[in-house]
Amino acid sequence: MKLCRFDDNRLGVVSGDMVHDVSEVLAKLPALHYPYPLFDALIASLPDLRGEIERLAQNARPIPLASCRLISPVANPGKIVAAPVNYRKHLQEVRKDANLHHGNMINEIERAGLFLKATSSLVGPSEGVRLVHEDRRNDHEVELAVVIGRRAKHVTRETALSYVAGYCIGLDITIRGPEERSFRKSPDSYTVLGPWLVTSDELPDPSALDLSIDVGDEARQRSNTSDLILDVPALIAFASSFYTLNPGDVLLTGTPEGVGPIQSGDKMTAAIERIGTMEVAVSAA
Ligand code: MN
């Protein structure tokens, strides 16, 4: 199932180039009381609501996808976890160009660990990226994004994929420079998630997916998740050995070679095999 969020926080099931509005199901989410939980309530309830969502989708009047304003498929992730250099060819690329990381330690991911992006940086494709500090180099990074479906703590590689709700395309927009990664990757709109969530039953194996991004008509990144240093199960096991992963937590798995600058007025087109394609406009903040 492909689940999208669109327009004014509506929930939809994507089928071909149509969206079926299933927002009615949101009334069935458990009532929440302050203090609100640090996880995404919809993602946590997906297994329980799945049947109802499918029933509603069958009866909903289809809306053309092209007329929908797509927002982030996950509304309230408790955290956005991201992998630093995690593609073999990208590791070679950054080792050759000190400007990409300004002398920051470039380590194998096993030694560097993971980092967090501010949840306030999250937008959907229709909202676009709004650049800050345009005098500095702002780069695109296309990444496979994993959405955690249930609480994961100290999980093994072997069972890791059973904790996944689904997958999206992620953009980890980055200001190059000397600051901590979490700081220069966390301005508002610097994490894009979309175009929808493909549930893991529809995409059981993320280990060999083509991924790409174009800026305008220029091809920038072309790779396959088979080039990952730590693959999806290993990343989940690694992350969950440090902190608890909760439903709705997003795991950005790292970007392949070919990162490059974006400027106000650009249009990015990102695609991942078996997920889809999304267009994201770049403007000034
Ligand atoms: Mn990245």
pLDDT of residue 203 exceeding 80, the answer is yes
Chain centre distance of CA 281: 17
User: Cα of 106 to ligand 1 centre, how many Å?
Assistant: 13
The dihedrals phi and psi of 46, each to the nearest 5 degrees, come to: -50, -45
Mean pLDDT of 235-264: 97
How many Cα atoms are found within 13 Å in the side-chain-facing hemisphere of 134? 11
Rounded (5°) CA angle 47-121-228: 70
Structure tokens at 151: 């609480």
pLDDT at 101: 60
What CA–CA distance (Å, rounded) separates 245 from 235? 11
The CB density around residue 82, as the number of other CB atoms within 10 Å, is 25
User: Cα of 54 to ligand 1 centre, how many Å?
Assistant: 34
pLDDT at 259: 94
* Average pLDDT over the chain, rounded to an integer: 95
Can you give the pTM of this predicted structure? 0.96
User: Cα of 192 to ligand 1 centre, how many Å?
Assistant: 12
User: Cα of 31 to ligand 1 centre, how many Å?
Assistant: 35
Cis bond upstream, residue 195 (ω within 30): yes
User: Cα of 213 to ligand 1 centre, how many Å?
Assistant: 13
pLDDT of residue 238 exceeding 70, the answer is yes
Of 128, 118, 147, 146, the C-alpha closest to 70 is 128
Using DSSP bridges, classify how beta strands 276-284 and 129-131 pair: parallel, antiparallel or unpaired. parallel
Structure tokens at 6: 């669109």
pLDDT tens profile 3-14: 999 999 999 999
User: Cα of 140 to ligand 1 centre, how many Å?
Assistant: 9
User: Cα of 253 to ligand 1 centre, how many Å?
Assistant: 7
User: Cα of 21 to ligand 1 centre, how many Å?
Assistant: 32
pLDDT confidence of 89, banded at 50, 70, 90? confident
pLDDT at 185: 98
pLDDT at 257: 93
Amino acid sitting at position 210: D
What CA–CA distance (Å, rounded) separates 180 from 184? 7
Contact 22, 53 (CB under 8 A): yes
Question: Three-state DSSP class for 57?
Answer: helix
User: Cα of 55 to ligand 1 centre, how many Å?
Assistant: 37
pLDDT tens profile 105-133: 556 788 889 999 999 999 999 999 999 99
pLDDT of residue 173 exceeding 60, the answer is yes
